[in-house]
Amino acid sequence: MGSAGSGRGYATPMGEESTRRILDAIRAVPRGQVAGYGEIARRAGLPGRARLVARVLAENDDATLPWHRVLRSDGRIAFPEGSRGWREQCARLRAEGVRVENGRVRGQAAAATLDERLWRMD
């Protein structure tokens, strides 16, 4: 895992602790659901650090991490359209039953907060 002490480092407010919290927040996204980079940062206690989430994901090498569940706040896949990463993320999301059209998740709010999900009035 690429953390602040790995030699590939980057500045974080809490070093390895912030990396761990981000990875834990990503692991907590349920199968078939998605979350935005900013939402992952908020869940990790790092509001406003969406770019840090992206950096942690880019430097991560844990094959079990459900990285594909993390999207831009508008529900789009962040990889360039048609790239290998874009195709893989689409395929992984679809395998979990997520509706993806032209690189955008449909039928879910990528940036919905946990409170919004728990307290939504239908």
Give the count of beta carbons closer than 10 Å to the beta carbon of residue 81: 11
Q: Which two tokens stand for residue 71?
A: 């999207």
Per-residue pLDDT at 53 exceeds 70: yes
Confidence of residue 107 (pLDDT cuts 50, 70, 90): confident
| 99-101 and 70-71 strand pairing | unpaired
Which CATH architecture describes the domain 16-119?
Orthogonal Bundle (1.10)
CA distance 24 to 121: 28
Q: To which H or E segment does residue 25 belong? A: helix 16-27
What number is the average pLDDT over the span 114-122?
Answer: 48
Largest Cα–Cα distance of the chain, in whole Å? 49
CA distances from 67 to 17, 33, 77, 96 (A): 19, 12, 11, 13
CA distance 68 to 91: 9
Nearest to 31 by CA among 89, 98, 85: 98
Q: Residue 113 has what pLDDT? A: 52
Instruction: Return the percent helix, strand and coil in the chain, to nearest 5.
Output: 40, 10, 50
Q: What is the mean pLDDT of residues 8-34?
A: 83
Q: What is the pLDDT of residue 111?
A: 45
For the chain, the straight-line distance linking the first and the last C-alpha, in angstroms and rounded, comes to 41
Predicted TM-score (pTM) of the model is: 0.77
pLDDT at 20 over 90: yes
| Domain locations along the chain | 16-119
